[in-house]
Amino acid sequence: MSVRIAPSILSADFARLGEEVAAAERGGADLIHVDVMDGHFVPNITIGPNVVRALARVTRLPLDVHLMITDPDRYIEPFRDAGASMISVHVEVLPHLHRTVHAIKTLGAKAGVVLNPSTPVSALDEIAEDVSFVLVMSVNPGFGGQTFIPRSESKVRAVRALLDRAGNREAPVEIDGGIDLTTAPRVVAAGASILVAGSAIFHTQDPERATRDLKAAAAGARGASSPAVR
């Protein structure tokens, strides 16, 4: 499985969202990562299904919707209807995670489960075989532009190993927070195969080139690492 780059529009210029997404797409972006925040689970407030619907009209890339909200069950269907292909939910807010994961899959989307930095990998023990992907947060969610938490590297390794043990070898590990040209090769070598990047792409003069450069850095790491990377 090759490494995919998922630019996070959180760091884009919201007044020029279509152009920003088009630039990332020209640079070889594989997905568009959409950060949904409710001002409750995380301190920030961002966007809802209407923006996802608007994005779906201007890009052919799959929309990867990361729900940082207290009550994701209520909003899965609206985001799926709006065009989300991947929907991820935080284990920290879901007492009935198994039900939620299967609800997302029943709607025809890929179901991702997200771990905050302080949430142990063991939180996935009973759900590892059901998920379509796992998202490891390498910063505390809420804002772009934060510093990568180094411990996330070993966490990616542990999640990859857990998914493999569960027989879910096809499920990728996604990583989100502080990914740039320096951290990208490290997390790919650890087993991440979807890299989310916000500020490293959109807080540059040339998001198209930044996407291309990040993809090249990630691909280089993949070539140098073990065949276990997917």
Any idea which residues carry the catalytic annotation?
A: 35, 176
176 lines the binding site for ligand DX5 (CB under 6 A): yes
- Segment holding 7, helix H or strand E: strand 4-7
174 lines the binding site for Zn ion (CB under 5 A): no
146 lines the binding site for ligand DX5 (CB under 6 A): yes
Tell me, residue by residue from 43 to 72, as one string, x for binding to Zn ion by CB under 5 A and - for no binding.
-----------------------x------
Give the Å distances, CA to CA, from 164 to 18, 112, 129, 167, 170: 38, 16, 9, 5, 9
Sheet arrangement for strand 63-68: 4-7, 194-197, 173-176, 133-137, 110-115, 84-90, 63-68, 32-37
Near ligand DX5 by CB under 6 A, which window of 54-62, 85-93, 139-147, 205-213? 139-147
196 lines the binding site for ligand DX5 (CB under 6 A): yes
Q: Which residue has the tokens 């985001």?
A: 79
CB of 179 to ligand DX5, least distance (A): 5
Figure out which of the listed residues 188, 199, 208, 211 binds ligand DX5, where binding follows CB under 6 A.
Answer: 199
Instruction: Supply 103's token pair.
Output: 């609800």
Backbone torsions φ then ψ of 13, nearest 5 degrees: -80, 110
What are the residues whose beta carbons fall under 8 Å from the beta carbon of 13, sequence distance 6 or more? 20, 202
Distance of alpha carbon 110 from alpha carbon 132, whole angstroms: 5
Nearest one of 44, 100, 46 to 77, comparing CA atoms: 100
Tell me, residue by residue from 52 to 71, as one string, x for binding to ligand DX5 by CB under 6 A and - for no binding.
--------------x-----
CB of 102 to Zn ion, least distance (A): 22
194 binds, among Zn ion, ligand DX5, none (CB under 5 to 8 A by kind): none
Distance of alpha carbon 18 from alpha carbon 28, whole angstroms: 16
CB-nearer residue toward ligand DX5: 98 or 187: 187
Count CA within 13 A, CB hemisphere, residue 186: 15
List binders of ligand DX5 among 15-44 (CB under 6 A): 33, 35
CB of 141 to ligand DX5, least distance (A): 3
207 binds, among ligand DX5, Zn ion, none (CB under 5 to 8 A by kind): none
Q: Which residues bind Zn ion (CB under 5 A)?
A: 35, 66, 176
Q: Which residues bind ligand DX5 (CB under 6 A)?
A: 8, 10-11, 33, 35, 66, 139, 141-142, 144-146, 176-179, 196-200
